[in-house]
Structure 1
């Protein structure tokens, strides 16, 4: 089966390439679905839960986390699938209460998948050895699970993209804020000088005459701006930290 069955999931996972658990679950879903393996049914649900966790981690307020909310659906130690979905929808401001009608629609969507699985269990023996019937039913069950997951992940992703993420807490990379970046670059001037410690003192001249002073370590600057340059400089620094080679050692 092709990826045409889960375009929304593929788009979401492409957007969150830096979320390792999500990527691992997506690989499992793709492989099991392509192989016609029933494990893709559980993988579909797991991917939706992963997607909700990514959104929750991104949008959650560390000062007032959703777990501490009075009506939080994820207060318990082991939140259920529906709890994670409800929490994601709450942070996306799509719902405000746990029994919101939209949550019920989503829940029924996956209830259909579960009910189809129970139907498979009973219909298999009743088919009296009609293997073709059982295979077709299994294929429809897998497709229903993947389609349900894709519909929900697509909805979550579109709702997320409509929001403006908080740069102070987001897990999104710098490249995801092109308009904000361009606005700052247009209005702000930067002056830099080396400090006595060899660090970089930066003065930012802001609109209205205000200034903002920052001090950046060389390592932090390299790590945040150019990871390959960081690796290159680290290699040079490691070589420089090695004890000098003596004449006897060279002869040996």
Structure 2
């Protein structure tokens, strides 16, 4: 399928989804939402895909919503932004978190508003040293969405989350790394190579086991300790029945490199 606002490819078990509206800092409009939804459907139905890499073209990762796509002119009917969230953004965030594979985000430039929170919803975030993160919602009288009010307090604590959301200050990639908002920073010219190398690594790993790790870590945010112990038991039962577990043990005993198939 051909796309206009994104680039999408699947190679050797890795799906790469690149936001491709560089003239608008890859901000989302209606067409981009539709094309991202289509690409994620391809990821979910293609059994060969074992890792998703999300990134952007140009000098920005994603500036969030394209405001010109729903401009509020004086005297015009006021938009229902909650409807837009329900139709577009919430399904996108739920899809990324529910994918049964690692999701890497390579933040190549500014990530503002929804763009920042989409990045934070991914499993592992790498960022170019020139990149930055901005909770820009307060600057136009809005509330952080795309899970930002849930994700940020868990990443940096309630005090920093509140200040970031109310002040809308720009946070550099290196500051984001120091605060634990992202996994690591990379030199600008090394970001894509490092992100693709990580994605290719994951494409050779025990995918079902990694998906269960993802489920466990996500559930820990709201589970009690006892509930988490029970979940670990249940997920370990599932992991122990995979072919990759069998291969991993066999390779360890035979002192060889395992050949995981993601099964």
* TM-score interval (norm. to shorter): under 0.3
* Structure having the larger proportion of residues in strand: 2
TM-score by length of 2: 0.25
Q: For the pair shown, which has the larger CA radius of gyration, 1 or 2?
A: 1
Q: TM-score, normalised by structure 1?
A: 0.25
- Structure with the bigger percentage of helix: 1
